[in-house]
Amino acid sequence: MAASNRLVIFDTTLRDGEQAPGFSLRVDEKLRMARQLEALGVDVLEAGFPIASEADAEAVRTIARTLERTTIAALARCAAGDIDRAAWALEPAPRRRIHTFIATSDLHLSRKLNMSRDECVAAAVAAVTRARGYTDDVEFSAEDATRSDADFLCQVIEAVIHAGATTINLPDTVGYSTPDEIAAFFTDVIGRVPNADKAVFSAHCHDDLGLAVANSLAAIGAGVRQIECTINGIGERAGNASLEEVIMATHVRADRLPVTTGIDTRQLYPSSRLLTELTGEAVQANKAVVGRNAFAHEAGIHQDGMLKDRRCYEIMRPEDVGVPRTTLVLGKHSGRHAVAARCEQLGFALDRDGVDRVYRAMVAAADVRKHITDQDLVDITCAVLGVSAPSSSTPHEPVPHESGYGFGV
């Protein structure tokens, strides 16, 4: 298939992500998330594994008959029953994809599947052929691809493309690879498979070593044009490549990653928030792009720089990913400029000496309380200066600075 700079975003939040312990969703919850993912602009939404349970099959079918623009995918092993069940679940979808997979590493073949290489090739070809009877959009995944024998892997890929697979996904199933290995791996495979130009190659990277996003980006550089990822990076074990991180890397570093997507980046934060609401699983505070602290600054040097020019310490704008505003957090690391700016917003007219006195008192309080709220700052200022709170002070309200920043915890 001709090279393109269009990157297909394959979201598997509702399949691989939902399989993670603690992230199970009901059918109605999966539908809410699916609608948000369509608003986000994902190209392919893997809605589930229909053969796994009646609920999973019904969830896929419900999503398939509800979404209008997004391609709906369903996972199936290389087995006739799996393929048929996936086809039934996808039947109402205007755009549908059957995603079939089998392991290709000798470890998985011998220890898990008790299958020979020849049997593996036969099963893969039969599954793709059967799936093509239901749809012309068929994805084949070689589970544990990065630990498979290269010659055998290329043999399997050539065979399934010949059988009609249009997307070839080569997962780093256990998150073992490093970025340089992933780049070399995809370059080698795409270069060696004779009919590689007839399919889109895809990467599905796990985060066991914290390298899922880095490996996905390396794969793009090697010619991959589909990335499989999840909101908040959820998934089996340590999770998958984080969709929001992959997307913002391509936006911020377009000079190194010259690809385009159909993602509305302003929907990234709302998508993250909805997922945490549905699962009850919070995102770590320092999570890139969507974490609570991703656009929060407490250090005085940083706050001073932000008040002068946000580009000093932010490489993307919070509003571009759907975050309301940058937050300057008042704490023991804050500086005088941030304290003065927030006091002014709260209605206090302080001279230099007043700012110094309030600042010292605030730092002392922060050593005990960790974070200082607006009400704390009002109380501290009134006590230090012996004044009453201005009628214009609005404790706890995230009043933005003139440059658009809010103060708060």
For 29-42, write each residue's pLDDT tens digit. Answer: 999 999 999 999 99
DSSP single-letter state for residue 110: I
State the span(s) of the chain assigned CATH 3.20.20.70.
Answer: 8-279
Q: Tell me the C-alpha to C-alpha distance, in Å, between residue 80 and each of 85, 123, 157.
A: 9, 10, 20
> Which carries the bigger pLDDT value, residue 301 or residue 274?
274
Residue 149 pLDDT exceeds 50:
yes
| pLDDT at residue number 392 | 64
For residue 408, is it left (φ>0), alpha (ψ between -120 and 50) or beta? left
Q: Which of 68-72, 169-173, 272-276, 338-342 shows the lowest per-residue confidence on average (mean pLDDT)?
A: 338-342
Pairing of strands 200-204, 296-297: unpaired
| pLDDT at residue number 397 | 45
Whether residue 53 contacts residue 60, with contact meaning beta carbons closer than 8 Å, is answered with: no
Q: Report the distance separating Cα 41 and Cα 268, nearest Å.
A: 10
Instruction: Work out the end-to-end distance of the chain between its first and last CA atoms, rounded to an integer number of angstroms.
Output: 50
Residue among 61, 106, 22, 3 nearest 275 (CA): 22
> Which carries the bigger pLDDT value, residue 299 or residue 248?
248
| pLDDT at residue number 304 | 82
For residue 38, is it left (φ>0), alpha (ψ between -120 and 50) or beta? alpha
- Sign of the Cα torsion 377, 379, 380, 385 reads positive
| pLDDT at residue number 371 | 79
pTM above 0.85, yes or no: yes
**Model confidence band, residue 406 (pLDDT cutoffs 50, 70, 90):** low
User: Is 141 in a helix, a strand, or coil?
Assistant: strand
Q: Report the distance separating Cα 330 and Cα 366, nearest Å.
A: 8
CATH (residue range 8-279): 3.20.20.70
Largest CA distance in the chain: 85
| pLDDT at residue number 407 | 57
Residue 396 pLDDT exceeds 70:
no
**Model confidence band, residue 398 (pLDDT cutoffs 50, 70, 90):** very low
Work out the average pLDDT over 185-199: 98
